[in-house]
Protein backbone atom coordinates (compact mmCIF):
# COMPACT_ATOMS: atom_id res chain seq x y z
CA UNK A 1 0.00 0.00 0.00
CA UNK A 2 1.29 3.40 -1.00
CA UNK A 3 1.17 5.94 1.79
CA UNK A 4 -1.54 8.52 1.09
CA UNK A 5 -0.62 12.19 0.83
CA UNK A 6 -3.17 13.30 3.43
CA UNK A 7 -5.38 11.78 6.11
CA UNK A 8 -8.52 12.34 4.07
CA UNK A 9 -10.18 9.28 2.54
CA UNK A 10 -8.95 8.67 -1.01
CA UNK A 11 -11.17 9.92 -3.81
CA UNK A 12 -13.19 13.10 -4.14
CA UNK A 13 -13.65 14.88 -0.84
CA UNK A 14 -17.18 15.24 0.47
CA UNK A 15 -17.80 18.69 1.92
CA UNK A 16 -20.77 20.39 3.53
CA UNK A 17 -21.24 24.03 4.61
CA UNK A 18 -22.00 24.78 8.25
CA UNK A 19 -24.96 26.86 9.37
CA UNK A 20 -24.06 30.47 8.69
CA UNK A 21 -23.42 32.79 11.60
CA UNK A 22 -22.62 30.10 14.15
CA UNK A 23 -19.89 30.39 16.79
CA UNK A 24 -17.59 28.21 14.67
CA UNK A 25 -18.04 30.35 11.53
CA UNK A 26 -14.90 30.35 9.45
CA UNK A 27 -13.62 27.05 10.85
CA UNK A 28 -13.43 23.80 8.94
CA UNK A 29 -13.70 20.33 10.42
CA UNK A 30 -13.07 16.78 9.31
CA UNK A 31 -14.83 13.64 10.53
CA UNK A 32 -13.24 10.28 11.15
CA UNK A 33 -14.84 7.67 8.93
CA UNK A 34 -16.60 6.11 11.91
CA UNK A 35 -19.07 9.01 12.00
CA UNK A 36 -22.13 8.88 9.82
CA UNK A 37 -22.40 11.64 7.23
CA UNK A 38 -25.77 11.43 5.48
CA UNK A 39 -25.46 10.09 1.95
CA UNK A 40 -21.86 8.92 2.37
CA UNK A 41 -20.91 5.35 3.23
CA UNK A 42 -19.44 4.80 6.69
CA UNK A 43 -16.59 2.46 5.77
CA UNK A 44 -14.83 2.41 9.11
CA UNK A 45 -11.46 1.68 7.55
CA UNK A 46 -12.51 -1.77 6.40
CA UNK A 47 -14.01 -2.31 2.93
CA UNK A 48 -16.08 -5.26 4.11
CA UNK A 49 -17.71 -3.05 6.75
CA UNK A 50 -18.63 -0.46 4.14
CA UNK A 51 -19.88 -3.10 1.71
CA UNK A 52 -22.16 -4.79 4.24
CA UNK A 53 -23.79 -1.75 5.86
CA UNK A 54 -26.32 0.70 4.43
CA UNK A 55 -25.33 4.25 3.54
CA UNK A 56 -26.52 6.41 6.46
CA UNK A 57 -29.39 8.80 5.91
CA UNK A 58 -28.63 11.10 8.86
CA UNK A 59 -25.52 12.75 10.27
CA UNK A 60 -23.95 11.49 13.47
CA UNK A 61 -24.81 13.70 16.45
CA UNK A 62 -21.32 15.21 16.61
CA UNK A 63 -21.23 16.00 12.89
CA UNK A 64 -24.64 17.65 13.11
CA UNK A 65 -23.53 19.63 16.18
CA UNK A 66 -20.44 21.09 14.49
CA UNK A 67 -22.37 21.89 11.31
CA UNK A 68 -25.01 23.68 13.38
CA UNK A 69 -22.21 25.48 15.18
CA UNK A 70 -21.19 26.91 11.83
CA UNK A 71 -18.11 24.84 10.96
CA UNK A 72 -17.77 23.53 7.41
CA UNK A 73 -17.20 19.83 6.84
CA UNK A 74 -13.94 19.49 4.88
CA UNK A 75 -14.06 15.73 4.39
CA UNK A 76 -13.96 12.32 6.03
CA UNK A 77 -10.72 10.87 7.30
CA UNK A 78 -8.94 7.52 7.38
CA UNK A 79 -9.38 5.45 10.53
CA UNK A 80 -7.75 2.24 11.69
CA UNK A 81 -9.99 -0.73 10.88
CA UNK A 82 -13.26 -0.50 12.82
CA UNK A 83 -11.41 1.72 15.35
CA UNK A 84 -8.95 -1.04 16.33
CA UNK A 85 -5.32 0.05 16.32
CA UNK A 86 -3.48 2.68 18.30
CA UNK A 87 -0.53 3.55 16.03
CA UNK A 88 -2.44 4.54 12.89
CA UNK A 89 -1.81 1.66 10.50
CA UNK A 90 -4.37 0.91 7.76
CA UNK A 91 -3.48 -1.39 4.88
CA UNK A 92 -6.67 -0.73 2.90
CA UNK A 93 -6.64 3.08 2.75
CA UNK A 94 -3.06 3.71 3.76
CA UNK A 95 -1.43 4.99 6.89
CA UNK A 96 -1.91 8.78 7.02
CA UNK A 97 1.19 10.95 7.22
CA UNK A 98 2.31 12.48 10.50
CA UNK A 99 3.00 16.08 9.47
CA UNK A 100 4.75 16.73 12.77
CA UNK A 101 7.11 13.77 12.42
CA UNK A 102 7.66 12.91 8.76
CA UNK A 103 8.25 9.22 8.08
CA UNK A 104 6.60 8.29 11.35
CA UNK A 105 3.30 6.77 12.38
CA UNK A 106 0.53 9.28 13.19
CA UNK A 107 -1.05 7.28 16.00
CA UNK A 108 -4.58 5.99 15.83
CA UNK A 109 -7.22 4.99 15.49
CA UNK A 110 -8.23 8.59 14.70
CA UNK A 111 -5.16 8.73 12.46
CA UNK A 112 -6.53 10.68 9.51
CA UNK A 113 -8.28 13.25 11.72
CA UNK A 114 -5.07 14.04 13.58
CA UNK A 115 -3.15 14.06 10.32
CA UNK A 116 -5.34 16.60 8.53
CA UNK A 117 -5.44 18.97 11.51
CA UNK A 118 -1.68 18.77 11.97
CA UNK A 119 -1.26 19.44 8.25
CA UNK A 120 -3.50 22.52 8.44
CA UNK A 121 -6.08 20.94 6.12
CA UNK A 122 -8.83 21.34 8.73
CA UNK A 123 -9.10 23.41 11.92
CA UNK A 124 -10.93 20.77 13.94
CA UNK A 125 -11.40 17.05 13.41
CA UNK A 126 -13.71 14.60 15.10
CA UNK A 127 -12.23 11.40 16.42
CA UNK A 128 -13.28 8.66 18.76
CA UNK A 129 -11.41 7.40 21.81
CA UNK A 130 -12.13 4.00 23.33
CA UNK A 131 -8.62 2.96 24.34
CA UNK A 132 -6.67 6.10 23.44
CA UNK A 133 -7.67 6.80 19.84
CA UNK A 134 -7.81 10.57 20.24
CA UNK A 135 -5.20 11.00 22.97
CA UNK A 136 -2.48 8.98 21.24
CA UNK A 137 -2.58 10.62 17.79
CA UNK A 138 -2.87 14.01 19.53
CA UNK A 139 0.36 13.26 21.37
CA UNK A 140 2.20 11.86 18.35
CA UNK A 141 1.02 14.61 15.96
CA UNK A 142 1.39 17.51 18.43
CA UNK A 143 -2.26 18.52 18.83
CA UNK A 144 -4.81 19.33 21.48
CA UNK A 145 -7.07 16.31 21.66
CA UNK A 146 -9.72 15.33 24.19
CA UNK A 147 -11.16 12.10 25.41
CA UNK A 148 -14.31 13.52 27.07
CA UNK A 149 -16.05 12.26 30.17
CA UNK A 150 -17.59 8.94 29.16
CA UNK A 151 -21.26 9.39 28.34
CA UNK A 152 -21.26 13.18 28.02
CA UNK A 153 -21.18 13.38 24.22
CA UNK A 154 -23.66 11.37 22.23
CA UNK A 155 -22.29 8.46 20.24
CA UNK A 156 -25.38 8.42 18.02
CA UNK A 157 -24.43 7.72 14.42
CA UNK A 158 -21.05 6.31 15.39
CA UNK A 159 -19.58 2.95 14.40
CA UNK A 160 -19.42 1.68 17.98
CA UNK A 161 -16.69 -0.51 19.44
CA UNK A 162 -16.81 -1.01 23.21
CA UNK A 163 -19.79 0.81 24.74
CA UNK A 164 -18.41 1.36 28.25
CA UNK A 165 -15.27 2.88 26.73
CA UNK A 166 -16.43 4.62 23.53
CA UNK A 167 -16.23 8.42 23.50
CA UNK A 168 -16.36 11.16 20.85
CA UNK A 169 -13.46 13.59 20.91
CA UNK A 170 -11.76 16.12 18.68
CA UNK A 171 -8.46 17.70 17.75
CA UNK A 172 -7.25 21.26 17.21
CA UNK A 173 -3.85 22.85 16.67
CA UNK A 174 -4.29 25.48 19.36
CA UNK A 175 -6.05 25.61 22.68
CA UNK A 176 -8.23 28.59 21.73
CA UNK A 177 -9.73 26.78 18.73
CA UNK A 178 -10.03 23.65 20.79
CA UNK A 179 -12.00 25.56 23.42
CA UNK A 180 -14.30 27.16 20.82
CA UNK A 181 -15.25 23.69 19.60
CA UNK A 182 -15.61 22.48 23.19
CA UNK A 183 -18.08 25.26 23.99
CA UNK A 184 -20.24 24.12 21.05
CA UNK A 185 -19.91 20.41 21.78
CA UNK A 186 -20.79 20.75 25.47
CA UNK A 187 -23.06 23.77 25.17
CA UNK A 188 -21.24 25.49 28.02
CA UNK A 189 -19.03 28.52 28.47
CA UNK A 190 -15.45 28.24 29.70
CA UNK A 191 -15.07 28.14 33.50
CA UNK A 192 -12.08 29.69 35.23
CA UNK A 193 -8.77 27.85 34.78
CA UNK A 194 -8.56 26.80 38.40
CA UNK A 195 -8.28 23.58 40.37
CA UNK A 196 -9.10 23.62 44.10
CA UNK A 197 -7.00 20.54 44.62
CA UNK A 198 -4.04 21.81 42.61
CA UNK A 199 -2.01 19.66 40.24
CA UNK A 200 -1.12 16.05 40.92
CA UNK A 201 1.83 14.64 39.00
CA UNK A 202 1.66 10.86 38.57
CA UNK A 203 5.25 9.76 39.06
CA UNK A 204 4.49 6.12 38.33
CA UNK A 205 3.08 7.09 34.94
CA UNK A 206 6.07 9.34 34.22
CA UNK A 207 8.36 6.43 35.09
CA UNK A 208 6.80 4.40 32.26
CA UNK A 209 7.78 6.97 29.64
CA UNK A 210 11.07 7.11 27.80
CA UNK A 211 13.35 9.25 30.02
CA UNK A 212 13.69 11.94 27.36
CA UNK A 213 9.90 12.11 26.98
CA UNK A 214 9.44 12.36 30.74
CA UNK A 215 12.09 15.09 30.88
CA UNK A 216 10.61 17.00 27.96
CA UNK A 217 7.25 17.23 29.75
CA UNK A 218 8.59 18.51 33.08
CA UNK A 219 8.68 22.22 32.13
CA UNK A 220 5.04 22.13 31.02
CA UNK A 221 4.08 20.28 34.21
CA UNK A 222 5.89 22.92 36.25
CA UNK A 223 4.06 25.78 34.46
CA UNK A 224 0.80 23.93 35.01
CA UNK A 225 1.59 23.56 38.70
CA UNK A 226 2.19 27.28 38.95
CA UNK A 227 -1.08 28.05 37.14
CA UNK A 228 -3.04 25.74 39.44
CA UNK A 229 -1.39 26.90 42.64
CA UNK A 230 0.71 23.91 43.53
CA UNK A 231 2.13 20.62 42.29
CA UNK A 232 2.02 17.40 44.31
CA UNK A 233 4.05 14.40 43.17
CA UNK A 234 2.25 11.12 43.84
CA UNK A 235 1.66 7.64 42.50
CA UNK A 236 -1.60 6.48 40.95
CA UNK A 237 -1.16 2.90 42.09
CA UNK A 238 1.03 0.47 43.97
CA UNK A 239 4.26 -0.52 42.16
CA UNK A 240 3.36 -2.31 38.89
CA UNK A 241 -0.32 -1.60 39.30
CA UNK A 242 -0.72 0.56 36.18
CA UNK A 243 0.28 -2.46 34.08
CA UNK A 244 -2.27 -4.57 35.93
CA UNK A 245 -5.00 -1.99 35.31
CA UNK A 246 -4.07 -1.94 31.63
CA UNK A 247 -4.43 -5.70 31.41
CA UNK A 248 -7.86 -5.57 33.02
CA UNK A 249 -8.93 -2.66 30.81
CA UNK A 250 -7.82 -4.72 27.85
CA UNK A 251 -9.98 -7.66 28.94
CA UNK A 252 -13.06 -5.49 29.30
CA UNK A 253 -12.55 -3.56 26.09
CA UNK A 254 -11.76 -6.61 23.98
CA UNK A 255 -14.68 -8.56 25.38
CA UNK A 256 -16.95 -5.64 24.52
CA UNK A 257 -15.42 -5.24 21.05
CA UNK A 258 -16.01 -8.90 20.34
CA UNK A 259 -19.62 -8.63 21.51
CA UNK A 260 -20.09 -5.62 19.23
CA UNK A 261 -18.53 -7.07 16.10
CA UNK A 262 -19.31 -10.76 16.60
CA UNK A 263 -22.64 -10.88 14.70
CA UNK A 264 -21.08 -9.13 11.71
CA UNK A 265 -17.91 -11.25 11.80
CA UNK A 266 -19.82 -14.51 12.10
CA UNK A 267 -22.10 -13.52 9.23
CA UNK A 268 -19.46 -12.11 6.86
CA UNK A 269 -16.08 -13.57 7.88
CA UNK A 270 -14.57 -10.20 6.89
CA UNK A 271 -11.05 -9.47 5.75
CA UNK A 272 -8.72 -7.80 8.27
CA UNK A 273 -5.05 -7.12 8.75
CA UNK A 274 -3.63 -10.08 10.65
CA UNK A 275 -3.12 -8.21 13.92
CA UNK A 276 -6.68 -6.82 13.93
CA UNK A 277 -8.19 -10.27 13.41
CA UNK A 278 -5.87 -11.68 16.06
CA UNK A 279 -7.06 -9.11 18.56
CA UNK A 280 -10.70 -9.81 17.83
CA UNK A 281 -10.08 -13.54 18.12
CA UNK A 282 -8.41 -12.87 21.45
CA UNK A 283 -11.54 -11.06 22.56
CA UNK A 284 -13.65 -14.05 21.57
CA UNK A 285 -11.63 -16.22 23.96
CA UNK A 286 -12.17 -14.05 27.06
CA UNK A 287 -14.23 -15.84 29.70
CA UNK A 288 -17.13 -14.50 31.74
CA UNK A 289 -15.04 -14.96 34.86
CA UNK A 290 -12.22 -12.85 33.44
CA UNK A 291 -14.75 -10.12 32.72
CA UNK A 292 -16.21 -10.38 36.22
CA UNK A 293 -12.76 -9.97 37.78
CA UNK A 294 -11.92 -7.03 35.53
CA UNK A 295 -15.18 -5.29 36.47
CA UNK A 296 -14.26 -5.53 40.15
CA UNK A 297 -10.82 -4.09 39.42
CA UNK A 298 -12.49 -1.30 37.46
CA UNK A 299 -14.73 -0.41 40.41
CA UNK A 300 -11.69 -0.28 42.67
CA UNK A 301 -9.85 2.06 40.28
CA UNK A 302 -12.96 4.26 40.09
CA UNK A 303 -13.05 4.52 43.91
CA UNK A 304 -9.38 5.41 43.99
CA UNK A 305 -9.77 8.05 41.27
CA UNK A 306 -12.73 9.56 43.08
CA UNK A 307 -10.68 10.05 46.25
CA UNK A 308 -7.92 11.71 44.23
CA UNK A 309 -9.90 13.94 41.90
CA UNK A 310 -13.49 14.51 42.95
CA UNK A 311 -12.51 17.46 45.10
CA UNK A 312 -11.21 19.29 42.06
CA UNK A 313 -7.58 18.29 41.64
CA UNK A 314 -6.11 17.96 38.17
CA UNK A 315 -3.82 15.04 37.39
CA UNK A 316 -1.04 15.14 34.84
CA UNK A 317 0.88 12.33 33.15
CA UNK A 318 2.56 11.63 29.80
CA UNK A 319 -0.05 10.86 27.14
CA UNK A 320 2.23 8.41 25.37
CA UNK A 321 5.49 6.97 26.70
CA UNK A 322 7.31 7.78 23.45
CA UNK A 323 7.24 9.99 20.40
CA UNK A 324 5.98 8.83 17.00
CA UNK A 325 7.65 5.55 15.97
CA UNK A 326 8.92 5.17 12.41
CA UNK A 327 6.86 3.56 9.65
CA UNK A 328 7.65 0.00 8.60
CA UNK A 329 8.21 -1.66 11.97
CA UNK A 330 7.68 -5.44 12.14
CA UNK A 331 4.69 -6.71 14.07
CA UNK A 332 6.49 -7.76 17.28
CA UNK A 333 7.80 -4.22 17.70
CA UNK A 334 4.37 -2.77 16.94
CA UNK A 335 2.87 -5.12 19.52
CA UNK A 336 5.37 -4.06 22.17
CA UNK A 337 4.75 -0.36 21.51
CA UNK A 338 0.98 -0.83 21.62
CA UNK A 339 1.26 -2.63 24.93
CA UNK A 340 3.25 0.26 26.40
CA UNK A 341 0.75 2.86 25.19
CA UNK A 342 -2.08 0.90 26.75
CA UNK A 343 -0.59 1.41 30.20
CA UNK A 344 -0.70 5.20 30.20
CA UNK A 345 -4.16 5.43 28.58
CA UNK A 346 -5.98 2.94 30.80
CA UNK A 347 -6.55 5.05 33.91
CA UNK A 348 -8.91 7.59 32.31
CA UNK A 349 -10.43 4.89 30.12
CA UNK A 350 -11.31 2.60 33.02
CA UNK A 351 -12.76 5.43 35.12
CA UNK A 352 -14.45 7.31 32.27
CA UNK A 353 -12.60 10.53 33.05
CA UNK A 354 -11.92 13.42 30.67
CA UNK A 355 -8.30 13.53 29.49
CA UNK A 356 -6.89 16.31 27.34
CA UNK A 357 -3.57 16.12 25.55
CA UNK A 358 -1.50 19.31 25.64
CA UNK A 359 1.15 19.31 22.86
CA UNK A 360 3.83 20.84 25.04
CA UNK A 361 6.87 18.61 24.61
CA UNK A 362 9.24 17.62 21.86
CA UNK A 363 12.03 15.06 21.68
CA UNK A 364 14.36 15.21 18.71
CA UNK A 365 11.92 17.49 16.93
CA UNK A 366 8.98 15.11 17.37
CA UNK A 367 6.03 16.03 19.56
CA UNK A 368 4.96 14.36 22.78
CA UNK A 369 2.07 15.44 24.92
CA UNK A 370 1.29 16.06 28.55
CA UNK A 371 -2.18 14.92 29.55
CA UNK A 372 -4.40 16.56 32.12
CA UNK A 373 -7.21 14.57 33.70
CA UNK A 374 -10.05 15.84 35.86
CA UNK A 375 -13.00 14.26 37.60
CA UNK A 376 -16.13 13.39 35.61
CA UNK A 377 -17.65 16.46 33.98
CA UNK A 378 -14.47 18.55 34.21
CA UNK A 379 -14.07 18.64 30.40
CA UNK A 380 -14.57 22.39 30.06
CA UNK A 381 -12.27 22.99 33.03
CA UNK A 382 -9.52 21.14 31.15
CA UNK A 383 -10.17 23.25 28.04
CA UNK A 384 -9.99 26.39 30.13
CA UNK A 385 -6.71 25.37 31.75
CA UNK A 386 -5.23 24.57 28.33
CA UNK A 387 -6.29 27.96 26.99
CA UNK A 388 -4.90 29.79 30.00
CA UNK A 389 -1.61 27.96 29.74
CA UNK A 390 -1.44 28.81 26.05
CA UNK A 391 -2.28 32.46 26.68
CA UNK A 392 0.46 32.64 29.33
CA UNK A 393 3.03 30.86 27.16
CA UNK A 394 6.52 32.36 27.39
Which of 100, 95, 157 has its CA nearest to residue 126?
A: 157
User: What backbone phi and psi angles, to 5 degrees, belong to 209?
Assistant: -85, 155
Question: Minimum CB separation from a copy of itself for residue 38, in Å?
Answer: 28
Q: Is the Cβ–Cβ distance between 297 and 322 less than 8 Å?
A: no
CA distances from 387 to 129, 153, 190, 368 (A): 22, 21, 10, 18
Instruction: Give the bridge partners for 317, in sequence order.
Output: 371
| CB 83, CB 133: distance < 8 Å | yes
Contact between 2 and a copy of itself by CB under 8 A: the answer reads no
Contact flag: residue 272 with a copy of itself (CB under 8 A): yes
**Alpha-carbon gap, residue 254 to 342, rounded angstroms:** 13
Please identify, among the stretches 187-195, 209-217, 219-227, 261-269, the one whose residues bind a copy of itself according to the rule CB under 8 A: 261-269
In the bound complex, what is the minimum distance in angstroms from residue 245's beta carbon to a copy of itself?
24
Q: How far is the C-alpha of 214 from the C-alpha of 229, rounded, in Å? A: 22
Q: Work out whether 290 is an interface residue with a copy of itself (CB under 8 A).
A: no
x/- contact string, 327-356, with a copy of itself (CB under 8 A)?
---xxx-x----------------------
Options 134-142, 281-289, 292-300, 341-349: segment touching a copy of itself (CB under 8 A) = 281-289
- Please say if 133 is a catalytic residue: yes
**How far is Cα 39 from Cα 217, in angstroms, rounded to an integer?**
44
Closest CA relative to residue 73, chosen from 43, 32, 109: 32
| Cβ nearer to a copy of itself, comparing 77 with 90 | 90
- Active-site residue identified among 28, 83, 109, 257: 109
Residue range at the interface with a copy of itself (CB under 8 A); choices 114-122, 266-274, 307-315, 364-372: 266-274
Nearest to 354 by CA among 232, 182, 214: 182
Active site (annotated) includes residue 109? yes
Q: Which member of 32, 111, 115, 139 is catalytic? A: 32
- Of 63-71, 87-95, 352-360, 373-381, which segment contacts a copy of itself by CB under 8 A? 87-95
* Residues in touch with a copy of itself (CB under 8 A): 89, 91-92, 265-267, 269-278, 280-282, 284, 330-332, 334
Residues with active-site annotation: 32, 109, 133
Amino acid sequence: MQHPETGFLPGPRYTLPGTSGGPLAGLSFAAKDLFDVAGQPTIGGNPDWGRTHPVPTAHAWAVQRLLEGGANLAGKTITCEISLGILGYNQFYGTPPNPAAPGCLPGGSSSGSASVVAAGLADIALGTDSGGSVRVPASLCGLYGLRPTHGRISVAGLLAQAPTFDTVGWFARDAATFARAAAVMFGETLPSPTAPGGLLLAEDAFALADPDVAAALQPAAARLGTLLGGLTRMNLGEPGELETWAGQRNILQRAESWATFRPWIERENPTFAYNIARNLAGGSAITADQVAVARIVRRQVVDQARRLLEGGAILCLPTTPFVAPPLGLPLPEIDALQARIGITTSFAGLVGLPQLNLPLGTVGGKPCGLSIIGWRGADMRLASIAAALEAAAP
